[in-house]
Amino acid sequence: MKWPSAAVGLLLSISVAPSSFATVRIGNDMGGPLGKYLLRFTRIRDSGEQVIIDGNCHSACTLVTIIPKARICVTQSAVLGFHAGWIDDQTGKRPTSAEGTRVLFELYPPMIRSWINNHGGLGARTILLKGHELRAIYPLCR
C-alpha cells in the first residue's frame, strides 16, 4: 500500500514528538552559559514535560522558572540560587553585566522577579530561594 506523503509526515511527527507525560529531574546544577539553559528550558516548556527540582539549581539553571508553574514541583532539598548576570572575561574573573542582568531578570516570571526584588535584587552575591518560601511558589513533589 502506498501512503500519501502527508500521512507519512504526520505519522513521523507523532512518533518523534515528545511525550507530555515525561518528567525531567533537575538537581545539583550550578549553571553555565545562559543561552544553553534558555534553549534547554524553552524546549522543555514547549514539550509539555513536567519538572522536578531536587537539589541545587543555581545561576542559569534558574531559567527553569520559564516553565509554567503548574508543571514544576520541588523536593525538600530544592534550592534556587539567583545572582547577577556576568561575562566570562577569559581571565577567570566574572565581571557583572548590567545588560545581561536586565535580560535575565526580565526572563523570570513576575512571582520570581518579585521575590528577587524583595531580597535585594540580582547582584554579585547569590540569593537563595528555598524551604517554605520556595514551596509557597511551587508545590512539593508527591
Closest CA to 59 of 101, 17, 115, 10: 101
pLDDT of amino acid 61: 96
Burial bucket for residue 107 (CB in 10 Å: 0-12, 13-18, 19+) = middle
Confidence band for 48, pLDDT divided at 50, 70 and 90: very high
Burial bucket for residue 104 (CB in 10 Å: 0-12, 13-18, 19+) = buried
Write the pLDDT tens digit of every residue in 7-17: 333 333 333 44
Q: What is the largest CA-CA distance in the chain?
A: 66
Mean pLDDT along residues 53-63:
96
Q: How far apart are CA 99 and CA 47, in angstroms?
A: 29
Q: Are 72 and 96 in contact (CB under 8 A)?
A: no
Encode 47-84: b = buried (16+ Cβ within 10 Å), e = exposed.
Answer: bebbbbbbebbbbbbbbbbbbeeebbbbeeebbbbbbb
Q: How far apart are CA 1 and CA 24, in angstroms?
A: 40
Q: What is the pTM of this model?
A: 0.81
pLDDT of amino acid 13: 38
The better pLDDT of the pair 12, 73 is held by: 73
Whether 4 has a pLDDT exceeding 50, the answer reads: no
Q: Are 47 and 20 in contact (CB under 8 A)?
A: yes
Confidence band for 72, pLDDT divided at 50, 70 and 90: very high
Write the pLDDT tens digit of every residue in 82-135: 999 877 667 767 778 888 899 999 999 999 999 999 999 999 999 999 999 999
Confidence band for 21, pLDDT divided at 50, 70 and 90: low
Most confident region among 29-33, 41-45, 86-90, 97-101 by mean pLDDT: 41-45
Residue 86 DSSP symbol: B
Mean pLDDT along residues 54-69:
96
